[in-house]
């Protein structure tokens, strides 16, 4: 075991999460999951268990830790559909942490979230708590994306290898060197499918100044605030959709009933299409949303209106609860909310990796929200 080293932050700056924070985070991370990233509920159960066992879940702002502190990003890898059926045993993440410390022969100072959207918001918290480390209040996506190379950390030049992957069985794999971020993703994905579909993967540590510069800021604070807004609105019998839109520059772009739904698994990804018939202010209009684990493209009356990397969120029109792609049902009444993504996802480098072309839509040019209605190619 590595020697504990001097704390690189002031413990007074730590925010200890409560049970209520986790309830709010579950909803907020679901909203930021834009349909993908897996359901945060099971991750919340593991976080609650850790809390019950006496571990504290603490978050820390990225500017409240010394610039040279060593930060390890971590997340679950595997198809979201699998995580519904197979619960993580809970110690995969801390096994990754210890294996990484042994590999680089240096202790880690803080844990970073790869992806705030969906279940990957919860699992790093458990790793941090069990490892006795703070969780930095940021992430690498500001939402959910289906592949590992789609983090801002990778996009802006951090090499994610050597990485460590641990599954619930006890298997440990180190990706020492990959010739590119995409190769790393490809090898890890193949391996996780062989492992039965779910594992935790910790990427090569970064210094805190890099995380501060290239992480999407305040992800946990924002996700918790989003969830609190929904909970508060429901208690006050106010419109939860309006409460969500008020916080993150979101806009309600559709109210519709699901009239058609296609979903299948292709290469480990959930791919499909949801068709909507409008009601209320949107009566007489149709819309459809293309799915690739997440909601990718929103079309109104056949015209592309919102695309990845901006966030397309489907919420239950009455409760404001986020709907993940695997929970979509024929006849469901949903509100579609569009939320502008962070500027770090809108640069030329970022759009190469997370723009419409990267998902197989080379004919669609990303036009940042709020966007004019454009003709579909």
Q: Is 175 in the site for its own copies (CB under 8 A)?
A: yes
The reply on whether position 82 binds its own copies by CB under 8 A is no
287 binds its own copies (CB under 8 A): no
Comparing CB distances to its own copies, the nearer of 8 and 189 is 189
Q: Angle 40-52/19-32 helices, nearest 10 degrees?
A: 160
Tell me the window of 172-180, 207-215, 241-249, 282-290 that interacts with its own copies (CB under 8 A): 172-180
Contact segment (CB under 8 A) with its own copies among 6-14, 125-133, 190-198, 242-250 equals 190-198
CA distance 361 to 93: 35
CB count in 10 Å sphere of residue 7: 14
Which residues lie closer than 8 Å to 304 by C-beta, 6 or more apart?
297, 298, 364, 374, 375, 376
Among 23, 91, 107, 172, binds its own copies (CB under 8 A): 172
Q: State which residue, 25 or 178, has the beta carbon closest to its own copies.
A: 178
The minimum distance between CB 40 and its own copies, in angstroms, equals 28
Q: How far is the CB of 187 from its own copies (least distance, A)?
A: 5
**Contact letters for its own copies, residues 96-125 (x by CB under 8 A):** ---x--------------------------
Q: Choose, by CB under 8 A, the member of 193, 261, 275, 357 that binds its own copies.
A: 193
Residues 6+ apart with CB under 8 A from 288: 273, 274, 275, 276, 298, 299
Please report, to the nearest 10 degrees, the dihedral formed by the alpha carbons of residues 192, 198, 203, 209 taken in order. Answer: 150
CA 167, CA 186: separation in Å to the nearest integer? 17
Tell me phi and psi for residue 126, to 5 degrees. -65, -45
Q: Is 187 in the site for its own copies (CB under 8 A)?
A: yes
Cis amide bond preceding 370, omega within 30: yes
**Which range binds its own copies by CB under 8 A, 7-15, 49-57, 114-122, 186-194?**
186-194
Distance CA 270, CA 49 (A): 30
Binding site for its own copies (CB under 8 A): 99, 164, 169-179, 183, 186-187, 189-191, 193-195
């Amino acid at each position: 075991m590595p020697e504990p080293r001097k704390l690189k932050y002031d413990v007074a700056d730590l925010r200890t999460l409560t049970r209520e924070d986790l309830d709010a985070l579950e909803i907020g991370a679901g909203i930021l999951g834009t349909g993908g990233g897996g359901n945060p509920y099971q991750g919340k159960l593991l976080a609650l268990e850790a809390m019950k066992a006496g571990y504290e879940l603490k978050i820390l702002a990225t500017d409240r830790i010394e610039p040279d502190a060593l930060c390890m990003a971590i997340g679950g890898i595997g198809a979201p559909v699998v995580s519904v059926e197979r619960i993580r045993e809970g110690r995969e993440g801390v096994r990754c942490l210890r294996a990484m410390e042994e590999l680089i022969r240096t202790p880690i100072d803080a844990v970073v979230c790869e992806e705030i959207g969906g279940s990957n918001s919860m699992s790093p918290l458990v790793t941090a708590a069990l490892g006795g480390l703070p969780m930095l209040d940021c992430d690498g996506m500001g939402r959910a994306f289906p592949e590992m190379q789609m983090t801002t950390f990778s996009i802006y030049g951090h090499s994610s290898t050597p990485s460590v992957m641990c599954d619930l069985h006890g298997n440990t794999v180190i990706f020492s060197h990959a010739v590119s971020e995409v190769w790393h993703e490809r090898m890890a994905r193949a391996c996780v499918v062989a492992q039965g579909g779910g594992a935790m993967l910790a990427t090569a540590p970064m210094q805190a100044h890099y995380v501060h510069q290239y992480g999407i800021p305040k992800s946990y604070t924002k996700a918790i605030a989003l969830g609190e807004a929904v909970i508060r609105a429901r208690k006050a019998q106010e419109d939860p959709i309006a409460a969500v839109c008020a916080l993150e520059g979101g806009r309600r772009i559709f109210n519709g009933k699901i009239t058609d739904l296609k979903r299948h698994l292709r290469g480990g990804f959930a791919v499909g299409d949801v068709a909507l018939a409008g009601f209320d202010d949107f009566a007489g209009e149709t819309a459809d949303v293309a799915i690739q684990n997440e909601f990718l493209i929103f079309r109104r009356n056949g015209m592309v209106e919102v695309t990845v990397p901006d966030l397309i969120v489907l919420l239950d029109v009455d409760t404001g609860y986020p709907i993940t792609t695997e929970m979509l049902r024929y006849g469901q009444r949903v509100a579609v909310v569009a939320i502008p993504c962070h500027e770090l996802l809108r640069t030329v480098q970022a759009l190469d990796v997370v723009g419409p072309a990267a998902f197989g839509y080379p004919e669609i040019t990303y036009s940042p929200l709020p966007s004019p209605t454009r003709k579909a190619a």
